[in-house]
Structure 1
Amino acid sequence: MNVDGQNVVQVLLLVGSISLVPALLFCVTSFSRILIVLGFVRAGLGTQTTPPNQVLVGIALFLTLFVMGPTFDQIKDRAVEPALAGKISTAQAIDRGQEPLREFMFKQTRTSDLKLFVRLGKIDAPKTRGDIPTRVLIPAFVISELKTAFQIGFLILLPFLIIDLVVSATLMSLGMIMLPPVFISLPFKILLFVLVDGWALVTRSLVQSFG
């Protein structure tokens, strides 16, 4: 293959790798948990499209950068800077760079989920974390993140559900069956959320859940 052909292949590989960045963002960072929990908050409030999806994704992205900051710093120190300085090869940089991510994922992954994918992958029982391939760790991490996000979302929805039940029961006792309860409960839910500084509470709980 000539030089021009090699350049074309390299460009195609580069474009293809860039297209995988969003998938990596979802699968190996805290992004998915944060975005799902924020979606539960909006669903609990019942505001439908407020905040809009773009705002929720933006909040989730910057909270992800905040939570993943120490991990990204380790990747930069161990892999990126030595590779740019020519001290290590690209392959060595990839191996060093994935270690901080693996450490983060191991902390957030349940043992039961790891065992599930080890069994599904028909892999010999690993003796140490280093024996677990990344291709097994990533899906186990994703499943654990989904479970944790839904557990947090359940706790968030409970107080909003209580408000809906109280308003619905009150309207029925007054004989106002035709009036949708959401018209009455929505202002109360927003007021309660603002009074308790809900966004700060949710953000603090999310960040601390990765501790």
Structure 2
Amino acid sequence: MIARTALVAAGAGLIAAAPALAQGLPAITLTQGAGGTSYSLSLQILVLMTALTVLPSLVLGMSAFTRIIIVLSILRQALGTQQTPPNQVLIALALFLTFFVMQPTLTTLYAEALSPFLDGQLAAEPALERGGAVMKEFLIANTRSNDLLMFTDLSGAGPYAEPKDVPFSTLLPAFMTSELKTAFQIGFLLFLPFLVIDMVIASILMALGMMMLSPMLVSLPFKLLLFVLVDGWALTVGSLAATYGGG
């Protein structure tokens, strides 16, 4: 349900922007032959296809995906395992962890905005307002106040009386900047122990006169052993999920 909620919520904003979509206004009509056979492409389908192209940007910019994938990439680089795990595995792990982190927000979005809209109990504009308020609550809870104030000053439209008054045009870049900063801070902390192992191994090899032997090659088994002994994947994934208090 969560994946369906994310997909339909992305299309809801674009569907609401077009008038009279409920009647299925034909965008393309083709008449063939004397019988007048017509083929029409509903405008809803065009809007849905457009929403599918925008969905990746929404997932990157309005969810926990950015922080998670950056931290996992830095962790792989710190381990020195080249392309192991491969990019497909890291992206899949980041997506599933993103859905896990965003589950409370998406559940609330579905219950308060999307479900009433699909059942015909709520018009498009009020549904968008409710959904926007739910997403703003998550974004603001995970955005640094300094970044939000910086973009508010740059836009020249603030200050705002309440957090819900902050427009998405100001909130989204502030959220992305905050996510990048937090991801690099976590990545720095993950990189330190592996850097210490590399330095120790390099010092030992230099003391033994093994100048031609790559320290990275020798330290790799020790880094993998340390990572496995401390259950590194569980610690990393659990810590990433715990950093989101607004989910």
Partner SS for 1:5? strand
Which residue number in structure 1 is paired with residue 193 of structure 2? Answer: 159
- State yes or no: 1:184 paired with 2:206: no
Unaligned runs of 5+ in 2: 1-24, 29-40
Q: Which amino acid aligns with 1:160?
A: F
1:129 to 146, 155, 163: 163
Residue 10 of structure 1 and its aligned partner are, at CA, apart by: 4.2
Q: Which runs of 4+ in 1 moved over 2 A?
A: 3-14
Q: Write the mapping of 1:2-21 to structure 2, written as runs, cut at 5 A.
A: 3-5=25-27, 7=41, 9-21=43-55
Q: Which amino acid aligns with 2:58?
A: L
Q: Which moved more, 1:5-14 or 1:198-207?
A: 5-14
User: Of the two structures, which has the highest relative contact order with CA contacts closer than 8 Å and spacing of 6 or more?
Assistant: 1
1:145 to 170, 175, 179: 179
Which residue number in structure 1 is paired with residue 101 of structure 2? Answer: 67
- State yes or no: 1:97 paired with 2:131: yes
Q: TM-score, normalised on structure 2?
A: 0.81
- State yes or no: 1:107 paired with 2:133: no
Which residue number in structure 1 is paired with residue 244 of structure 2? Answer: 210
Which residue number in structure 1 is paired with residue 56 of structure 2? Answer: 22
Residue 110 of structure 1 and its aligned partner are, at CA, apart by: 0.7
Partner SS for 1:20? helix
Which residue number in structure 1 is paired with residue 15 of structure 2? Answer: none
Q: Which has the higher strand share?
A: 2
Residue 81 of structure 1 and its aligned partner are, at CA, apart by: 1.1
Distance 1:67 1:126 in 2: 28
Residue 124 of structure 1 and its aligned partner are, at CA, apart by: 3.0
Q: Which moved more, 1:91-100 or 1:172-181?
A: 91-100
Distance 1:57 1:10 in 2: 30
Tell which structure's C-alpha radius of gyration is larger.
Answer: 2
Q: Write the mapping of 1:44-83 to structure 2, written as runs, cut at 5 A.
A: 44-83=78-117
Residue 115 of structure 1 and its aligned partner are, at CA, apart by: 1.0
Cα RMSD of the aligned pairs, angstroms, is: 1.3
Residue 11 of structure 1 and its aligned partner are, at CA, apart by: 3.4
Q: Which has the higher helix share?
A: 1
Which residue number in structure 1 is paired with residue 235 of structure 2? Answer: 201
Unaligned runs of 5+ in 1: none
Identity %: 48
